[in-house]
Amino acid sequence: MSNKKELLLIIISLLGLFLTACSQGDESDQEETTENSEETKENAEDNKSDKDKKEETEKDKPSSDQKDQKNNDSSEKQDDSSDKQKNEDDGSANEKILPAGTLSHGDSGQKVSMMQKALNRLGYSLTVDGDLGWTTVWAIKDFQAQFPNLKIDGVYGKNTREYILKAVNGEIEAKPGTGLENNDTEDNNEKNSNVVSNPSSILALVNKNNQLPASYVPKNLTNPNVRFPFTEDLPKKQMRQVAANALENMFNAGDKAGVDLFAQSGYRSYDRQRAIFAANASEHGHEAANQFSAQAGESEHQTGLTMDVTSADINYRLNTNFANTDEGEWVKKHASEYGFIIRYPKGKTSITGYQYEPWHLRYVGEKAAKYIDSNNTTLEQYLGGQ
């Protein structure tokens, strides 16, 4: 009996130990399961975090299209920059040939010289003096007249500049003298005139049929020491030395005779005369202006041998009332003694081509002057009779 009890106790103890062992195994499995669950959760979170980071990285990272677009934009910017630089370089180079801005008659300076040089490269024959005179205006108008899109106004502006540049660069063709060949009344008149072959002669005949060369400028121009009704040092004070000396002698003689002569207008350049005639034609009409105003090349003032004289009695004006002043009467009587003639005498318009001008004195030398005066004739008749 005793042995059975001991065996039963041993079995119970072993059973207890078995149950205890099983219980601990379940707890361990549960803990392991919990740990595995937590680890899985952590791994999932880590994976999610890595995924999020990757997505964010991918999001921040430009796509291949974006890369291409960026590269294209960069390339375009470089091209634009290159084009801009090229345009700036072209513009700078062009400004070395032709100036920017607007130039018109009366302007002067380096910009005018640059324009004159450019026009000469096209075949024009301009004096590069930096003065935008009427000859240069004519060249501009002649150029403009060859292109329908240009206004024929003789003004150098943006559009005219662009066309001149094209012509200089050989992109278009311009032929000097063809634009105004059949359009300019004054130029047509010039073609019908004979060019004076001896412009420096003191007996050179200058009138509507005998024209001085546009390039003619007399030598030895000087200011005679006589009275003028103005103080400015203007070109119109000038005469050739031989005529200036004679004028001084005549004024001195007039002073001794008690008359107060004033010199008003002497030398005029071709361009200056062209401007004067253009102004008169604009105000009075071409035909009327041609009766009292000489066209360029047809003016005796360009010879440097002529001086218009006046008097305080007529407010220093140039009109026929001068003939009735003491000064006018004295000049008519004594001018030839000093080599001067009244170039356009009364009643000789059909011969000289101009109205009576008692103030207009022309130096021809004493011999010719005395003959013309004593015979009441004209320079045309005097030269025609020789």
219 with 354, same domain: the answer is: yes
Domain boundary among 128, 154, 183: 183
Higher pLDDT, 360 or 215: 360
Across 366-378, average pLDDT: 97
Cα separation, 89 vs 79, in Å, equals: 15
Out of 157, 183, 209, pick the residue that ends a domain: 183
Residue 338 domain flag: yes
Q: Are residues 165 and 177 in the same domain?
A: yes
Looking at residue 65, what is its pLDDT? 52
User: Do 300 and 344 reside in the same domain of the chain?
Assistant: yes
* DSSP summary character for residue 65: H
Question: CA 89 to CA 97: how far, in whole Å?
Answer: 13
pLDDT in tens, 48-82: 445 454 444 454 545 555 555 555 555 555 555 55
Decide: 224 and 263 in contact? Cβ < 8 Å.
yes
What would the mean pLDDT of 140-169 be, rounded to a whole number? 89
229 with 329, same domain?
yes
Please tell me whether residues 283 and 162 are part of one structural domain.
Answer: no
- What is the SS3 assignment for 83? helix
Q: Is residue 126 part of a domain?
A: yes
In the chain, the number of structural domains is: 2
Q: CA 337 to CA 329: how far, in whole Å?
A: 14
Domain containing residue 304:
186-384
Tens of pLDDT, residue by residue over 263-292, are 999 999 988 888 888 888 878 887 787 778
Mean predicted lDDT score pLDDT of the chain: 80
**pTM of structure:** 0.53
Q: Are residues 335 and 362 in the same domain?
A: yes
Gap between the Cα atoms of 3 and 183, Å rounded = 157
Find the CATH number of the domain harbouring 106: 1.10.101.10
Q: Which amino acid is at 49?
A: S
Question: Is residue 38 assigned to a domain?
Answer: no
Whether 225 is in a domain gets the answer yes
Query: Which of 183, 205, 237 represents a domain boundary (last residue)?
Result: 183
In a domain, 219, yes or no: yes
Phi first, then psi: what are they for 166, rounded to 5°?
A: -60, -40
**Mean pLDDT calculated for residue range 231-252:** 97
Query: Is residue 278 a part of any domain in this protein?
Result: yes
In this structure, are 299 and 365 located in the same domain? yes
Considering only CA atoms, which of 166, 101, 103, 152 is closest in space to residue 130? 103
How many CB atoms within 10 Å of residue 302?
Answer: 27
